[in-house]
Structure 1
Amino acid sequence: MSRPELERASQLLKEAAEATDGEVQEQLYDQSDQLAKLATRDQGPDHGRLARHMTTLNDLAEEVDGDVEETVREARQEVLEYRKDVPGV
């Protein structure tokens, strides 16, 4: 099953990672990879897992600025949009 919001978030984070370097770049690539896997898994992620990603993305957005910050925040918004339709909580 495809989850377009998570796929979009993954792509945005990859773009953000390519525009920076160092530890932040590694963390952005890691988040991108994790969201790409979640986007294609048979079973979707739960609220807790998505909340952890959103917290991490918020923290990463605070470590960068300019276009990279905007891209990370846009990716976080995509995760939020997906999370709105997740049953539970």
Structure 2
Amino acid sequence: MPREELVQAAEELKHASADVSGDVKDRLESQAESLRNLAEADHGPDHGRLDRIMHSLSELESDVDDETAKRIESAYDHVKAHRETVSGV
């Protein structure tokens, strides 16, 4: 069963990548693919992996326009919501 919050985050990044080009587009597409893979994996990501993704998304927000930044922020919020369900730390 897919982890819905991660699926939603991947979708937001997919849409965000349509509005940019170059390195930022590549990074957004890479993060979207990673999130899709994590959503379908047998074992979900741990806190460390989710933290790295959230950090990367925060960095990407400063490199885009306001509309794209809103999509990235939404993806961040979905990852954060999923992270809150992960046991541990």
Matches of 1:51 and 1:65 in 2, distance apart?
23
User: Residue 46 of structure 2 aligns with which residue?
Assistant: 46
- Secondary structure of the residue that 1:82 maps to in structure 2? helix
Matches of 2:16 and 2:87 in 1, distance apart?
30
Q: How does 1:7-22 map to 2 (within 5 A)?
A: 7-22=7-22
User: What percent of counterpart residues are identical?
Assistant: 39
Matches of 1:69 and 1:76 in 2, distance apart?
10
- Secondary structure of the residue that 1:63 maps to in structure 2? coil
The structural deviation recorded for 1:33 is 0.3
TM-score (structure 2 length as normaliser):
0.98
User: Residue 65 of structure 1 aligns with which residue?
Assistant: 65
The structural deviation recorded for 1:66 is 1.5
Q: How does 1:28-43 map to 2 (within 5 A)?
A: 28-43=28-43
The structural deviation recorded for 1:62 is 1.1
- Gaps of at least 5 residues in structure 1 are none
TM-score (structure 1 length as normaliser):
0.98
State the 4+ residue runs in structure 1 displaced beyond 6 angstroms: none
Matches of 2:49 and 2:66 in 1, distance apart?
27
Matches of 2:65 and 2:77 in 1, distance apart?
17
Q: Residues 39-60 of structure 1, C-alpha deviation per residue, up to 9 Å, x if partnerless?
A: 0001000000000000000000
Matches of 2:39 and 2:2 in 1, distance apart?
6
Matches of 1:78 and 1:55 in 2, distance apart?
14
